[in-house]
């Protein structure tokens, strides 16, 4: 693809729009902006601009469109698939300064925010008003627009669904600079193709989100967790479909192995409340009264015990919850700290196939003599499987990783799964999406991309 290289005239224009203080060129751009959270894919943009208004975003996009300059939108850069890396150089449009909470509408139960508001700020703000924004990805310092663009899921997806289910409306800037609104403060909408839902999960390739109207729920008054030790992981995971079948709806169903717990203990310098076992399920229930929650978990506790659980441990106070969830929140960092480099596979499979898939990753571990760690959302079938480089040379690592990924993605396909549950395709997972989607599917995606972005300037090289 031939894009125009940035020259002094372009810089001048960007300065005329944003002022000198918000335009960074060459060495002024921090190295962090060359990659995302997982690394591996690296390139610095030619220029980085911090926009603070829709108008600025619109002007920049129009200019880039007219001059055929690639634009990579970026939030906090916490992605894991290279989605926010400027692989074709050009302009990086940093939206983290558009970080205001604009309106809480308690009559419509919506929250209107700018794209750079952080997930943790949203939950803190709405919970102070007894309201609830359910999507709960582990990375709380991600921006809301990053979450929208990857259709992030998180732990509460079992009961509450994913980001897409909580986006009511969006203000977007199209690649040609036109501003438009899709969706709105409305509960139902059958008015043509849902453009709003096309933008959600589009990984910054179709339009730039400059405002979002989020759906809120009343805040459940109480939550408890059950930590359930099992003799082994297979038995733990095989219990999950029985829980789902029981029609009780936990908020979250996570699985974890003692190795991850020990790594988190070491990483955090804290103690986990139980070490009796190698494998655990971690379930959360929420509701409005202690009795309501107790009724729900009583049934599940019996199912677990009947399925071979060693016990069911109850976490019902803030201190107890912290002792468990702090460790759960540190798994990724702890695993990262235990190796030289790693890459992840974020497949999603039908919920009754999770056990099959995990067994398969264990087989791969011995087949390829590589450490593979996994933990994840057993309740929604979304797995986070990490392949660790350890002492391999660059060449060996690339080879092993390629082989292991190939095996995992094709097994996921066989099981009726998809490439990504919540991290997205970005740059890194494109080959696997192509395999999974097939020619017709990819052609449709490309045509959609073309309809929004005929010059292919917005986050090119990502998704399709």
Partner 1 sequence: MEILVCIKQVPGTSEVEVDEKTGVLKRDGIDSKLNPYDLYAIETALKMKEEKGAKVNVITMGPPQAAEIIQEAFMMGADNGALLTDRKFAGADVLATAYTLSQGVKKMGNIDLIICGKQTTDGDTAQVGPEMAEFLGIPHVANVRRIVELKEESIVVEMDMPNTIEVADVKFPCLITVEKGIFQPRLPSFKLKMATKDKEIPFYSMNDFEDQNEKNYGLNGSPTQVLKIFPPEANTDHEMWEGTGEDLADRLLTKLKELKFV
Helix (H) or strand (E) holding 5: none
CB of 450 to partner 1, least distance (A): 54
Of 9-17, 304-312, 352-360, 432-440, the window that binds partner 1 (rule: CB under 8 A) is 304-312
Handedness of CA 253, 282, 292, 120 (dihedral sign): negative
- Judged by CB under 8 A, the chain residues 386 through 425 that form the site for partner 1 are none
Residue 65 touches partner 1, criterion: CB under 8 A: no
Scored b (16 or more CB within 10 A) or e, 396-412 reads: ebeebbeebbebbbebb
Beta-carbon contacts of residue 106 (< 8 Å; ≥ 6 apart): 129, 131
Residue 158 touches partner 1, criterion: CB under 8 A: no
The answer to whether the CB of 417 falls within 8 A of the CB of 408 is no
CB of 31 to partner 1, least distance (A): 33
Binding residue for partner 1, selected from 53, 108, 316, 339, defined by CB under 8 A: 316
CA distance readout (Å), 93 to 47, 85, 90:
9, 11, 10
Of residues 259 and 314, the one with the C-beta less far from partner 1:
314
The answer to whether the CB of 52 falls within 8 A of the CB of 72 is no
**C-alpha 207: how far from chain center:** 19
Of residues 32 and 319, the one with the C-beta less far from partner 1:
319
Q: Is 14 helix (H, G, I), strand (E, B) or coil?
A: helix
Residue 301 touches partner 1, criterion: CB under 8 A: yes
Residue 318 touches partner 1, criterion: CB under 8 A: yes
Of residues 283 and 345, the one with the C-beta less far from partner 1:
283
Rounded Cα distance, 200 and 185, in Å: 16
CB of 304 to partner 1, least distance (A): 9
Residue 311 touches partner 1, criterion: CB under 8 A: yes
Of 132-140, 247-255, 306-314, 409-417, the window that binds partner 1 (rule: CB under 8 A) is 306-314
- Judged by CB under 8 A, the chain residues 204 through 243 that form the site for partner 1 are 226-227
CB of 316 to partner 1, least distance (A): 7
Residue 271 touches partner 1, criterion: CB under 8 A: yes
Q: Which of 212, 178, 207 is nearest to 55 (CA)?
A: 178
Q: Is 256 helix (H, G, I), strand (E, B) or coil?
A: strand
CB of 312 to partner 1, least distance (A): 4
Name the DSSP class of 217. E
Of 271-279, 395-403, 405-413, 423-431, the window that binds partner 1 (rule: CB under 8 A) is 271-279
Of residues 283 and 401, the one with the C-beta less far from partner 1:
283
Of 102-110, 146-154, 314-322, 340-348, the window that binds partner 1 (rule: CB under 8 A) is 314-322
The answer to whether the CB of 239 falls within 8 A of the CB of 281 is yes
Q: Which of 350, 354, 347 is nearest to 423 (CA)?
A: 347
Beta-carbon contacts of residue 401 (< 8 Å; ≥ 6 apart): 343, 387, 389
Of residues 321 and 400, the one with the C-beta less far from partner 1:
321
Question: Quick one: how many helices (H) and strands (E) in the chain?
Answer: 14, 18
Q: Please give the backbone phi and psi of residue 166, each rounded to the nearest 5 degrees, phi first.
A: -120, 10
Helix (H) or strand (E) holding 209: strand 208-215
Beta-carbon contacts of residue 328 (< 8 Å; ≥ 6 apart): 254, 256, 264, 282
Handedness of CA 422, 222, 325, 246 (dihedral sign): negative
CB of 124 to partner 1, least distance (A): 14
Of residues 7 and 266, the one with the C-beta less far from partner 1:
266
Binding residue for partner 1, selected from 16, 288, 317, 367, defined by CB under 8 A: 317
Binding residue for partner 1, selected from 63, 160, 230, 272, defined by CB under 8 A: 272
Count of residues that bind partner 1 according to CB under 8 A: 20
Q: Is 231 helix (H, G, I), strand (E, B) or coil?
A: coil
Of residues 163 and 315, the one with the C-beta less far from partner 1:
315
| Both structure tokens of 201 | 């999960």
Residue 246 touches partner 1, criterion: CB under 8 A: no
Of 73-81, 132-140, 246-254, 319-327, the window that binds partner 1 (rule: CB under 8 A) is 319-327
Of residues 132 and 409, the one with the C-beta less far from partner 1:
132
Q: Per-residue x/- marks for partner 1, 322-351, CB under 8 A?
A: -x----------------------------
Of 30-38, 90-98, 144-152, 266-274, the window that binds partner 1 (rule: CB under 8 A) is 266-274
Angle at 450 between CA 446 and CA 455, to 5 degrees: 125
Q: Please give the backbone phi and psi of residue 311, each rounded to the nearest 5 degrees, phi first.
A: -170, 180
Q: Facing residues of 132 across strands? A: 217
Of residues 29 and 226, the one with the C-beta less far from partner 1:
226
Of residues 301 and 348, the one with the C-beta less far from partner 1:
301
Of residues 225 and 420, the one with the C-beta less far from partner 1:
225
For every residue of 290-315, DSSP letters joined together read HHHHHHHHHHHHHHHHHTT-S--EEE
CB of 273 to partner 1, least distance (A): 5
Question: What is the binding site for partner 1 (CB under 8 A)?
Answer: 226-227, 271-274, 290, 301, 305, 311-320, 323
């Amino acid at each position: 693809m031939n894009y125009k290289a940035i020259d002094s005239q372009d810089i001048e224009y960007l300065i005329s729009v944003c002022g000198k203080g918000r335009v960074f060129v060459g060495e002024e751009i921090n190295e962090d902006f060359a990659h995302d959270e997982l690394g591996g894919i690296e390139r610095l943009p030619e220029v980085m601009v911090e926009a603070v208004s829709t108008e600025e975003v619109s002007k920049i996009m129009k200019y880039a469109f007219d001059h055929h300059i690639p634009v990579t939108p970026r939030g906090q850069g916490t992605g894991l698939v290279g989605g926010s890396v400027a692989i074709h150089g050009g302009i990086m449009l940093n939206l983290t300064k558009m970080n205001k909470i604009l309106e809480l509408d308690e009559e419509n139960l919506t929250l209107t925010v700018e794209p750079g508001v952080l997930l943790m700020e949203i939950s803190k703000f709405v919970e102070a008003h007894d309201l609830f924004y359910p999507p709960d990805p582990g990375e709380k310092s991600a921006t809301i627009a990053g979450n929208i663009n990857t259709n992030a899921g998180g732990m509460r997806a079992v009961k509450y669904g994913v980001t897409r289910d909580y986006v009511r409306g969006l203000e977007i800037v199209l690649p040609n600079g036109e501003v438009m609104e899709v969706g709105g403060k409305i509960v139902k909408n059958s008015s043509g193709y849902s453009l709003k839902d096309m933008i959600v999960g589009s990984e910054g390739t179709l339009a730039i989100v400059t405002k979002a109207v989020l759906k809120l729920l009343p805040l459940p008054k109480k939550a408890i967790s059950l930590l359930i030790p099992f003799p082994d992981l297979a038995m733990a995971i095989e219990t999950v479909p029985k829980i789902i079948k029981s029609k009780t709806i936990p908020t979250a169903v996570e699985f974890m192995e003692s190795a991850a717990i020990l790594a988190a203990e070491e990483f955090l310098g804290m103690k986990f409340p139980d070490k009796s076992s190698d494998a655990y399920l971690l379930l959360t229930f929420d509701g409005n009264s202690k009795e309501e929650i107790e009724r729900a978990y009583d049934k599940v506790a019996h199912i677990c015990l009947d399925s071979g659980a060693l016990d069911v441990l109850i976490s019902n106070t803030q201190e107890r919850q912290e002792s468990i969830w702090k460790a759960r929140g540190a798994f990724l960092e702890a695993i990262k700290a235990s190796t030289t480099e790693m890459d992840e596979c974020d497949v999603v499979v039908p919920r009754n196939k999770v056990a099959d898939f995990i067994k398969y990753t264990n087989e791969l571990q011995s087949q390829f003599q590589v450490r593979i760690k996994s933990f994840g959302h057993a309740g929604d079938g979304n797995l986070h499987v990490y392949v660790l480089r350890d002492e391999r040379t660059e060449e060996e690592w690339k080879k092993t990783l390629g082989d292991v990924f190939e095996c995992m993605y094709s097994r996921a396909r066989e099981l009726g799964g998809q490439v990504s549950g919540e991290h997205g395709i970005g740059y890194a997972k494109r080959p696997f999406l192509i395999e999974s989607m097939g020619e017709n599917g990819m052609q449709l995606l490309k045509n959609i991309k073309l309809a929004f972005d005929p010059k292919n300037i917005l986050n090119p090289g990502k998704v399709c």
